[in-house]
Amino acid sequence: MGELLDVVVAGAHGGAGTSTLAALLPAAWDVGVVRATPDADRCPVQAKGRPVVLAVRNTAAAARSATAAVGVLRQGGEGIAALAIVSDGGPESRDAAARFALLGWQVGGVVRVPYVRALRLVDDPAEVVLPGKARAAVDGLRGLVAGGGRGWRG
Protein backbone atom coordinates (compact mmCIF):
# COMPACT_ATOMS: atom_id res chain seq x y z
CA MET A 1 0.00 0.00 0.00
CA GLY A 2 2.89 2.39 0.46
CA GLU A 3 4.74 4.15 3.22
CA LEU A 4 3.04 5.13 6.46
CA LEU A 5 1.46 8.59 6.21
CA ASP A 6 1.60 11.04 9.09
CA VAL A 7 -2.15 11.62 8.89
CA VAL A 8 -4.98 11.45 11.43
CA VAL A 9 -8.07 9.44 10.50
CA ALA A 10 -11.15 10.12 12.61
CA GLY A 11 -14.74 8.94 12.36
CA ALA A 12 -17.82 11.11 12.48
CA HIS A 13 -19.63 8.17 14.14
CA GLY A 14 -19.08 4.53 15.01
CA GLY A 15 -18.81 2.22 12.01
CA ALA A 16 -17.76 5.01 9.65
CA GLY A 17 -14.88 3.02 8.15
CA THR A 18 -12.15 4.77 10.10
CA SER A 19 -10.00 1.71 10.75
CA THR A 20 -10.39 0.48 7.18
CA LEU A 21 -9.30 3.84 5.76
CA ALA A 22 -6.40 4.01 8.20
CA ALA A 23 -5.23 0.61 6.95
CA LEU A 24 -5.69 1.49 3.27
CA LEU A 25 -3.89 4.84 3.33
CA PRO A 26 -1.93 3.60 5.55
CA ALA A 27 -2.29 6.22 8.26
CA ALA A 28 -0.15 6.62 11.33
CA TRP A 29 -3.00 7.78 13.55
CA ASP A 30 -6.48 6.18 13.86
CA VAL A 31 -8.14 8.22 16.60
CA GLY A 32 -11.61 6.66 16.52
CA VAL A 33 -14.79 8.70 16.76
CA VAL A 34 -14.86 12.50 17.16
CA ARG A 35 -17.01 13.33 20.17
CA ALA A 36 -17.59 16.67 21.81
CA THR A 37 -16.03 16.78 25.28
CA PRO A 38 -17.30 18.57 28.37
CA ASP A 39 -14.00 20.50 28.39
CA ALA A 40 -14.84 23.07 25.72
CA ASP A 41 -11.28 24.44 25.84
CA ARG A 42 -9.81 21.27 24.35
CA CYS A 43 -10.60 19.66 21.01
CA PRO A 44 -11.13 15.88 21.31
CA VAL A 45 -8.70 15.39 18.40
CA GLN A 46 -5.21 16.82 18.73
CA ALA A 47 -3.74 16.46 15.23
CA LYS A 48 -0.76 18.74 16.03
CA GLY A 49 -0.54 20.09 12.49
CA ARG A 50 -1.14 16.75 10.79
CA PRO A 51 -3.85 16.53 8.11
CA VAL A 52 -7.15 15.01 9.27
CA VAL A 53 -9.32 12.66 7.22
CA LEU A 54 -12.88 12.53 8.58
CA ALA A 55 -14.66 9.28 7.68
CA VAL A 56 -18.45 9.08 7.43
CA ARG A 57 -20.96 6.64 5.92
CA ASN A 58 -23.24 7.79 3.12
CA THR A 59 -26.52 7.93 5.06
CA ALA A 60 -28.58 10.92 6.21
CA ALA A 61 -27.96 10.09 9.89
CA ALA A 62 -24.23 9.82 9.24
CA ALA A 63 -24.27 13.17 7.42
CA ARG A 64 -25.76 14.77 10.55
CA SER A 65 -22.93 13.24 12.58
CA ALA A 66 -20.40 14.57 10.07
CA THR A 67 -21.85 18.06 10.41
CA ALA A 68 -21.38 17.89 14.19
CA ALA A 69 -17.86 16.42 13.89
CA VAL A 70 -16.75 19.09 11.41
CA GLY A 71 -18.05 21.74 13.81
CA VAL A 72 -16.16 20.23 16.76
CA LEU A 73 -12.91 19.94 14.80
CA ARG A 74 -13.09 23.43 13.31
CA GLN A 75 -14.02 24.98 16.65
CA GLY A 76 -10.99 23.19 18.11
CA GLY A 77 -8.75 24.72 15.45
CA GLU A 78 -8.23 21.52 13.48
CA GLY A 79 -8.29 21.63 9.68
CA ILE A 80 -9.86 18.76 7.78
CA ALA A 81 -7.91 17.73 4.69
CA ALA A 82 -10.62 15.37 3.44
CA LEU A 83 -14.14 14.21 4.12
CA ALA A 84 -14.20 10.53 3.12
CA ILE A 85 -17.77 9.42 2.43
CA VAL A 86 -17.61 5.63 2.70
CA SER A 87 -20.43 3.78 0.97
CA ASP A 88 -22.34 1.17 2.95
CA GLY A 89 -23.45 -0.51 -0.27
CA GLY A 90 -26.70 1.42 -0.61
CA PRO A 91 -27.41 4.62 -2.48
CA GLU A 92 -26.67 8.02 -0.95
CA SER A 93 -29.92 9.79 -0.10
CA ARG A 94 -30.71 13.30 -1.31
CA ASP A 95 -30.67 14.53 2.31
CA ALA A 96 -27.20 13.10 2.84
CA ALA A 97 -25.93 14.51 -0.46
CA ALA A 98 -27.28 17.96 0.43
CA ARG A 99 -25.57 17.92 3.85
CA PHE A 100 -22.29 16.72 2.33
CA ALA A 101 -22.46 19.50 -0.26
CA LEU A 102 -22.79 22.05 2.55
CA LEU A 103 -19.78 20.55 4.31
CA GLY A 104 -17.65 20.63 1.16
CA TRP A 105 -16.47 24.23 1.63
CA GLN A 106 -15.29 23.49 5.19
CA VAL A 107 -12.85 20.74 4.23
CA GLY A 108 -9.93 20.38 1.84
CA GLY A 109 -11.87 18.01 -0.39
CA VAL A 110 -14.63 15.43 -0.48
CA VAL A 111 -13.93 11.88 -1.66
CA ARG A 112 -16.59 9.22 -2.09
CA VAL A 113 -15.19 5.77 -1.32
CA PRO A 114 -17.22 3.03 -3.04
CA TYR A 115 -18.44 -0.12 -1.32
CA VAL A 116 -15.96 -3.00 -1.63
CA ARG A 117 -17.44 -6.30 -0.44
CA ALA A 118 -14.01 -7.94 -0.13
CA LEU A 119 -13.09 -5.52 2.68
CA ARG A 120 -15.73 -7.16 4.89
CA LEU A 121 -14.18 -10.59 4.40
CA VAL A 122 -10.61 -10.01 5.61
CA ASP A 123 -8.89 -9.18 8.87
CA ASP A 124 -6.44 -6.80 7.20
CA PRO A 125 -7.91 -4.39 4.62
CA ALA A 126 -4.42 -3.82 3.18
CA GLU A 127 -4.56 -7.41 1.81
CA VAL A 128 -7.43 -6.55 -0.56
CA VAL A 129 -6.70 -5.68 -4.17
CA LEU A 130 -9.01 -2.72 -4.63
CA PRO A 131 -11.09 -2.27 -7.78
CA GLY A 132 -10.26 0.78 -9.91
CA LYS A 133 -12.82 3.22 -8.44
CA ALA A 134 -11.85 2.34 -4.87
CA ARG A 135 -8.14 2.63 -5.68
CA ALA A 136 -8.80 6.03 -7.26
CA ALA A 137 -10.67 7.14 -4.11
CA VAL A 138 -7.78 6.09 -1.85
CA ASP A 139 -5.33 7.84 -4.19
CA GLY A 140 -7.55 10.94 -4.02
CA LEU A 141 -7.39 10.89 -0.23
CA ARG A 142 -3.61 10.47 -0.34
CA GLY A 143 -3.40 13.48 -2.64
CA LEU A 144 -5.48 15.63 -0.31
CA VAL A 145 -3.44 14.74 2.77
CA ALA A 146 -0.22 15.36 0.85
CA GLY A 147 -1.28 18.99 0.50
CA GLY A 148 -3.44 18.93 -2.59
CA GLY A 149 -6.59 20.01 -0.71
CA ARG A 150 -8.10 23.47 -0.94
CA GLY A 151 -6.35 25.12 1.99
CA TRP A 152 -7.27 22.59 4.66
CA ARG A 153 -5.01 24.19 7.23
CA GLY A 154 -7.06 27.32 7.56
pLDDT digits (tens, 9 = 90+) for 111-131: 999 999 999 999 999 899 999
- What is the distance, to the nearest Å, from the Cα of residue 35 to the centroid of all Cα atoms in its chain? 15
Q: 12 with 66: CB under 8 angstroms?
A: yes
- Of 78, 84, 72, residue with least CA distance to 110: 84
Q: State the pLDDT confidence band at 78, using cuts at 50, 70 and 90.
A: confident
Phi, psi of 41 (to 5 degrees): -85, -5
pLDDT tens digit sequence for 14-40? 999 999 999 999 877 888 788 766 556
Q: What is the pTM of this model?
A: 0.90
Q: Count the alpha carbons within 13 Å of 17 in the hemisphere toward its beta carbon.
A: 28
Q: 90 with 111: CB under 8 angstroms?
A: no
Q: Return all residues near 59 (Cβ < 8 A) that are at least 6 apart.
A: 88, 90, 92, 93, 96
Over residues 141-153, mean pLDDT: 71
